[in-house]
Amino acid sequence: DADVTQTPRNRITKTGKRIMLECSQTKGHDRMYWYRQDPGLGLRLIYYSFDVKDINKGEISDGYSVSRQAQAKFSLSLESAIPNQTALYFCATSAAENYGYTFGSGTRLTVV
Partner 1 sequence: AQTVTQSQPEMSVQEAETVTLSCTYDTSENNYYLFWYKQPPSRQMILVIRQEAYKQQNATENRFSVNFQKAAKSFSLKISDSQLGDTAMYFCASLSYNTDKLIFGTGTRLQVFP
Binding site for partner 1 (CB under 8 A): 31, 33, 35, 40-45, 48, 50, 58, 88, 90, 92, 94, 96, 99-101, 103, 105-106, 108
Considering beta carbons, is residue 48 or 64 the nearer one to partner 1?
A: 48
The helix/strand/coil state of 4 is strand
For the CB of residue 30, give the shortest distance to partner 1 in the complex, in Å: 10
Considering beta carbons, is residue 51 or 79 the nearer one to partner 1?
A: 51
Considering beta carbons, is residue 7 or 15 the nearer one to partner 1?
A: 7
For the CB of residue 92, give the shortest distance to partner 1 in the complex, in Å: 7
Residue 34 belongs to what H/E stretch?
A: strand 31-38
- Between CA 28 and CA 37, with CA 31 as vertex, the angle to 5 degrees is 115
For the CB of residue 29, give the shortest distance to partner 1 in the complex, in Å: 11
From 95, 96, 111, select the one nearest 36 (Cα to Cα). Answer: 111
